[in-house]
Structure 1
Amino acid sequence: MTFKSWSIRKKFAGLLSTLSLHRRKALLLLPMGMVVFLGVWLFQAPAIADLSEENREQVPVLLSQWDKGEVIVLLRHLERCDRGDAPCLAGTSGITARSVAGGDALGDDFYQLGLQKSDIYNSPLTRTAQTENLVFDDLGADRKWLYQCKENMLDDAVQSKKPGRNLILVTHSSCISRFEAALGYASNTPDYGTALFFSNDPVSRKLQALGFLHKEDWKRALGI
């Protein structure tokens, strides 16, 4: 065998060895990538579900817990006026005039659900105060922590919850996000007038989400 043919065979063998090494590395990396993907998927924060759709089985739980006075509700204010071109109800820092009809309907829904065992607090900002007045006929009380919401949003809510009484909090999307994050839920900005319902799990005794309702879905979900 000539030196030239021996050199060619050596280079070819080296190429095969390199390809085999890359293939082995690829085989090792593939399962690792799958493990990372599965880990991200498994540990991704859960989203709060819609009580009018995929989470309808929680409606009887909500109604039962509500009758016992064991529910915390976070209600986002109605449509704010300073981010659109709709006429304002009263002042640009408040809600839109077209929010009134939806607010009246939402108030009827809450009264049908029952407010005898409920305490109502609202952020003192104009848009939340107007929402509380429209939906609950000014039965609520101002709480600064419902707009100055920081890491203690969840603690403030739990400490304000009285045994045997539901707690309704009229607040802002940013405060709702902090509350959700503190409980380990993924945060999605709720629509104006959306209510999110929470109650203690009967087994773990930890606060958990029962689901949310858009303001137009109450009758379809709860039958009230």
Structure 2
Amino acid sequence: MLQGTLTTTPYPTRRLPRPKTLFKALAAILLAAATTTLWYSARPQVADLGSPRQMTRSGAYADWAKGSVIVLVRHAERCDRSHATCLDDPTGITVDGSLAAIGVGQGLEQLGLQGSDILASPEVRTRQTASFMFGKTVPSQAWLARCDATFASTALAHKRAGHNLVLVTHSGCIDQLERQFGVAGNERSIGYASALLLGEGSDGKAHILGRLNASQWHKLSNPKEA
């Protein structure tokens, strides 16, 4: 039988934090959490403008009547990334895309296009989309295909006072603009022939009104009738 003496070593005594120190630490954690929540809540949320009520609530109808809206429309479904039937040019849009573009154009007509400025990217898919939207050839400008960090400021610079501006462009360009306005990554998503609307705030600065997808335009009425 093994025999021996068992010796025990006492563990060092831990000092518990003083109540005052503990309170300060807890307060710091709560403050950091509140600040983070405030930062996220302050980031723009892109509203769904898919009904006359939502258009009214957002101020889109009122801003449109004042000629203070910028509409950025993504081109319709592109041929080279779809199995659907193409119109003609393989770098252009599909037949389904042309029908969606017509619907968007009809929605804009309901809002009223008198005095509006309309421009398109020079790419085939954007020029075709604009043509089906408005039933005519739309002037194109190269900057509408340059989806870089200058896109937002360039778009704002082309806005004339009292004239709504419709820009037929690309998802990358709309994404760049949303980035400049602080929209979070999970909010920056826009489908074919969808549109992002900007309006003018009470401070005179541009802000995001919301988004419409291609199928929602037919639900909109003339703002005078809403």
Q: What range is the shorter-chain TM-score in?
A: 0.7 to 0.9
Structure 1: stretches of 5+ with no match in the other structure: none
Superimposed CA distance per residue, residues 172-221 of structure 1 (whole angstroms, 9 cap, x where no aligned partner): 1110011111122235120111111111102x21101111111211243x
Secondary structure of the structure 2 residue equivalent to 1:175: helix
Tell me, in whole angstroms, the C-alpha distance in 2 between the residues paired with 1:177 and 1:26.
45
Identity %: 33
Matched-pair contact (CA < 8 Å) for 1:71–1:197? yes
**Alpha-carbon distance, 1:43 to partner:** 1.4
Superimposed CA distance per residue, residues 121-162 of structure 1 (whole angstroms, 9 cap, x where no aligned partner): 110001111100010123521111111132211111111111
Structure 2: stretches of 5+ with no match in the other structure: none
How many aligned positions are there? 211
Matched-pair contact (CA < 8 Å) for 1:183–1:207? no
Match 1:130 to one of 114, 128, 131: 128
Matched-pair contact (CA < 8 Å) for 1:86–1:96? yes
- Matched ranges for 1:71-220 at <5 A: 71-186=69-184, 187-202=187-202, 204-220=203-219
Tell me, in whole angstroms, the C-alpha distance in 1 between the residues paired with 2:95 and 2:164.
29
With the length of structure 2 as denominator, give the TM-score of the two structures. Answer: 0.81
**Alpha-carbon distance, 1:34 to partner:** 4.8
Superimposed CA distance per residue, residues 67-126 of structure 1 (whole angstroms, 9 cap, x where no aligned partner): 221111111111111112112112221111112222222221111111112000110001
**Alpha-carbon distance, 1:28 to partner:** 7.5
Secondary structure of the structure 2 residue equivalent to 1:48: coil
Tell me, in whole angstroms, the C-alpha distance in 1 between the residues paired with 2:149 and 2:71.
18
* Structure holding more helix per residue: 1
Is 1:41 paired with 2:37? yes
**Letter aligned with residue 193 of structure 1:** A
